[in-house]
Structure 1
């Protein structure tokens, strides 16, 4: 009887171990940073034809170049909404990204205007700040009219209606911060590395961005209607340089997300500069301050060994990201001291955030209240 019991226990242990090993291997094979690359237009939808160039062809060539390089990174999985000259619906593009559980959605386009406008623009979802942004979004959203039964699939959405634009901005709000960060990296690379004219990061109501549940951007790589820029974007050299900037931005974004968590663990014994700390207390009633040290798609245990020896770590899942925080106090001077410590540990991008009644609020709003 005793022998049988021992045998059963060993079997259970082996099965449990195998289960854990299989689960761990499953997580490892799926623990990749998923980027969905979307070449705008395609098939019977050529996009704009400024100066005789085809937006759909140029966007595809840039996307394929971006994907080819990203695929060389073992930690990245690339998914394309299209890899040839085919038509994909807006809802189809969003579904591909959502079904993949993507960490990023990057849509590539070329601009057009009946003026000498030129330069790059990268958009995130938001209320159009002006008529120009509304017109750009309207132009891209009108692709739905090329789809059969578009009224059925887009729930009464009207690209010509500003009211429809307002409605589609709400669902992407939780990803806006990360989307803006990536958009800024793209535009900075265009401007600083490729010396392109950057028209900046902008917000507008693009349907395809609204329906993706991850940080998402739409890149307008330039104006085909501006003769010099159109020729540049239609050239191999131009497409190579634009794709290089997009690659650099995505890799920089991923590095920022994964920065200093769970890897390269070390202890920094350097002293804190006492001139930068205030030993007095500055307590704000009903406000909790934390230092956000990282945001990542990786789910890590909030243990000191994952965060360079820092204790009092907490985490919160926001959309597809995990945000990691250091400290928990109502004393603003204390949290500033902890912010210095976190930066000494290597979390150079860390910053103070504020919470009230369990909800994050703007730090400036928290500091407007009177301290005790």
Structure 2
């Protein structure tokens, strides 16, 4: 990507290829938690070189340290988009992640700015609501132009088009919640563990094509253009500290996801108590409401004893993730009560989802439907 003195962020590479993408090369690792680590830039794309520090080299060093420690865990498979100073196309990085049928995609970069701005930022895909985020997304997606035959491979996508950017965010909607969980864990480790300045969790419309089916984050570990921060990130201890913080967040995220689907079997009555429904019925024709209580790479039987006694459990597989739901009703009043019940059982982050004619729709859209 061409280096500019203006906002310098680097893009989150997510997944391309179609829904039918297979993972034959990694079938032996299907019983493991698969993490794809992406070191930004590489080869003729050095990224930013604030204060003479090379982004592509720093990002690669951090990624290799993260991977080395994660590989000590027998339950984790680590895959790298690059392990040396080479240029990898966006579609190439995406293919690696898709073929791996990964559970997580983590991209590491260094920031730059024309001022002495400092601090970490972790991005997840989302609609860019501010002018600043829109400009960031445009600049980061422009790395496409470094690739030969980009018109052929990116099907007319225009990094400068607001419509294109907004469309990107819709493709990762199912994974936003878990992406945000990981992003928060990473930023908390930076700010609370390392006492680094955190600029927080951000959302921007970064490049995605076709089917994206894993939680993904882009981590900006700091500004090379800030003299003090650049020196820290270029030092051996600085890179090790940032790698350790990210690695711990990945392990905590894995633990959180596994515990959230009932790792500790409920010891009480396998049948949950009947709930008393309050309020008038709100029936929506051809709409089914459920409460999503968990999402995980683990496949569990949809039985009440696996979900703290909740009954009427269903399971859906999306990519490499299993989603677990409580309830099945066309009555919005009932589903809200089911959500209260799930929260009382410990599923604090559960939320209502809606399907119409077999397709997932926004709950707000469902509620606009004519009531019977």
**For this structure pair, what is the TM-score category when the shorter chain's length is used for normalisation?**
0.7 to 0.9
Partner of 1:52: 52
TM-score (norm 1): 0.79
**Could you give the per-residue CA deviations for residues 22-81 of structure 1, whole angstroms, max 9, x where no partner exists?**
xxxx98852111110000011121100001100001111111111122212222111000
The size of the alignment, in residue pairs, is 345
- CA apart distance, 1:224: 0.6
Q: Is the 8 A contact 1:60 1:84 kept in 2?
A: yes
Secondary structure, in 3 states, of the residue corresponding to 1:283?
Answer: coil
- CA apart distance, 1:177: 2.8
CA distance 1:121–1:264, change in 2 (3 Å): same
CA distance 1:344–1:226, change in 2 (3 Å): same
**Which runs of 5 or more residues in structure 1 are unaligned?**
1-25
- CA apart distance, 1:314: 0.9
- CA apart distance, 1:115: 1.4
**Could you give the per-residue CA deviations for residues 84-133 of structure 1, whole angstroms, max 9, x where no partner exists?**
11111111111100111111111111111111222112122233323322
Partner of 1:107: 107
**Could you give the per-residue CA deviations for residues 172-204 of structure 1, whole angstroms, max 9, x where no partner exists?**
233223222322222232222222222222222
Partner of 2:6: none
CA distance in 1 between counterparts of 2:171 and 2:222 reads: 28
Q: Is the 8 A contact 2:302 2:315 kept in 1?
A: yes
1:84 aligns with 2:95: no
CA distance in 1 between counterparts of 2:132 and 2:205 reads: 12
Secondary structure, in 3 states, of the residue corresponding to 2:171?
Answer: helix
Secondary structure, in 3 states, of the residue corresponding to 1:58?
Answer: helix
1:138 aligns with 2:125: no
Partner of 1:249: 249
**Could you give the per-residue CA deviations for residues 305-364 of structure 1, whole angstroms, max 9, x where no partner exists?**
433443311122334322111233456675566545545655454344455555555567
CA distance in 2 between counterparts of 1:35 and 1:310 reads: 31
1:325 aligns with 2:312: no
Q: Is the 8 A contact 1:39 1:109 kept in 2?
A: yes
Q: Is the 8 A contact 1:40 1:60 kept in 2?
A: yes
* Structure number with higher helix proportion: 1
**Runs in 1 of length 4+ with deviation above 6 angstroms?**
364-372
Aligned-pair Cα RMSD in Å: 3.4
**Could you give the per-residue CA deviations for residues 132-189 of structure 1, whole angstroms, max 9, x where no partner exists?**
2233333333333332223322223343444443444443233223222322222232
Partner of 2:296: 296
Matches within 5 A, 1:1-372: 29-207=29-207, 212-261=212-261, 263-268=263-268, 280-286=278-284, 288-329=288-329, 335=335, 338-339=338-339, 341-343=341-343, 345-354=345-354, 358=358, 360=360
| Higher deviation after alignment, 287-296 or 208-217 | 208-217
Secondary structure, in 3 states, of the residue corresponding to 1:207?
Answer: coil
Q: Is the 8 A contact 2:39 2:63 kept in 1?
A: yes
Based on CA coordinates, which of the two structures has the bigger radius of gyration?
1
CA distance 1:273–1:318, change in 2 (3 Å): closer
Q: Is the 8 A contact 2:29 2:77 kept in 1?
A: no
Higher relative contact order (CA 8 A, sep 6+): 2
Partner of 2:7: none
Q: Is the 8 A contact 2:36 2:104 kept in 1?
A: yes
